[in-house]
Each structure stands twice: as structure tokens, then as C-alpha cells.
A and B are shown apart, each in its own frame.
Chain A
Amino acid sequence: GQNIDQPTEMTATEGAIVQINCTYQTSGFNGLFWYQQHAGEAPTFLSYNVLDGLEEKGRFSSFLSRSKGYSYLLLKELQMKDSASYLCAVRDGDYKLSFGAGTTVTVRA
């Protein structure tokens, strides 16, 4: 199985940068995903990492270190609409996803 840990809550100011960390212990690894989920809505895909390093997509970047079982999601130039939960998910050797409990990010003006 998987053990995935991420902080419960984070608060930041509009225009700032926030980094959400995710650590995992895995019984097989086939990639790490980050999803965004607004209240009352379905998760939507943000990023995917399978090799070590940084993946950048506009204001969002995601980093992976497989040897450390560690990833982070970096949100830059925060906007009010970025207030949401951010879910870290690890795909195992059977290609099933296991999710962390999610990090609720609140952006304040």
C-alpha cells in the first residue's frame, strides 16, 4: 500500500508563492500526480511527474525526488481563484492511484 502525507492547511497572500509538500512511501511507483479540487467539485489534473526533477506549467510547477519519496507543488503569483484543495496522488505498480488527504490553500487579499 501507500502512505502519503501532505499538510492539512496553508494560507498565503494574493500574489505570493506557496509550496505544498508531499511525502510518500510506496510499494511500487509509476508516477505522482497533483490535482486541484474546488469545494463541491471534482478533482482536476494539474501535473504529472515520473522522473526526478521539475515540471513547469505556467504558474504551477511540480518537483519529484524518487529517492527521497518527496514531491512538491509550487503555486506562483497566487490568485483568489487558487483557493482550493490540492491532492497529491501516487500511482502504484498496479497502476492504481492512492491519494493524500489533501491540502486546503486559502488565498487572502
Chain B
Amino acid sequence: IAGITQAPTSQILAAGRRMTLRCTQDMRHNAMYWYRQDLGLGLRLIHYSNTAGTTGKGEVPDGYSVSRANTDDFPLTLASAVPSQTSVYFCASHPSGEGTDTQYFGPGTRLTVL
């Protein structure tokens, strides 16, 4: 693994189903983030984690949950998917959240909820 990866690449899901989007980074970054990107709205923060064992809510957390059991993994779970959760989901990581360095983005997961 090099950098930050996400799985699956894309998924079609029936409404009401449970789904976990996976995100793994091998850069030993402390901070990790989940965004959704919708046309005309840009990237919106769903949840974040500043370090393993801690999580926080972003701008649009409802319907989503996260966990951060270790430094490398930051899964996003939709407990009961709804059509409004159709979006492209990006995971990102940052060494510490501070400083001049940028966030690094994964390739994204395109999710369609029918």
C-alpha cells in the first residue's frame, strides 16, 4: 500500500442496507477525515479523527458513524442507507492537522443508494 486507499471503488446499494466504506493509510498520519462531494456543494466534512481513539463530528454527520481503533484505518458506516446519501466519498489524512502540510486524499468511493 502506498499513500491512502479506499474500498470499494464504487457501490450500488439498496435503501435500508448497512454499508461500511473502508479507508486505510500507510503514512502514519494522526489526523483522518471523511468528506462527501455533491455537485454544486463541494466537499463537506462528515466526521474526523485527530488521533487514534478519538473522533469528532463534521458539518454533515447525521446517518454516518466512524471509528478509529488504530492509526491506519478509519471506516465510515452508513447504518441504514437512504437515497440522499448517494454521493462520492473521499477519505483524507494529515500528519497532525496543523502546519503547512496539506491533507492527502484517497481516490474516492462512488456510492449510489436506490
Which residues of chain A have a CB within 8 Å of any CB of chain B?
1, 8, 30-31, 33, 35, 41-45, 48, 50, 87, 89, 95-102
User: Known interface pairs A30-B98, A96-B58. Does A44 touch B105 (Cβ–Cβ under 8 Å)?
Assistant: yes
> In the assembly, what is the distance between CA of A48 and CA of B101, in Å?
8
Which residues of chain B have a CB within 8 Å of any CB of chain A?
31, 33, 35, 40-45, 48, 50, 58-59, 90, 97-98, 100, 102-108
> In the assembly, what is the distance between CA of A96 and CA of B35, in Å?
11
Task: Find chain B residues with CB under 8 A from A1 CB.
Answer: 59
Min Cβ gap A87→B in Å is 7
- Is the Cβ of B48 less than 8 Å from the Cβ of A43? no
- Is the Cβ of B97 less than 8 Å from the Cβ of A101? no
Task: Find chain B residues with CB under 8 A from A45 CB.
Answer: 102-104
Q: Nearest CB to that of B58 among chain A residues?
A: A96
- Pick the contact of A43 from B43, B50, B58, B97 — CB < 8 Å? B43
Min Cβ gap A97→B in Å is 6
Task: Find chain B residues with CB under 8 A from A96 CB.
Answer: 33, 45, 48, 58, 97
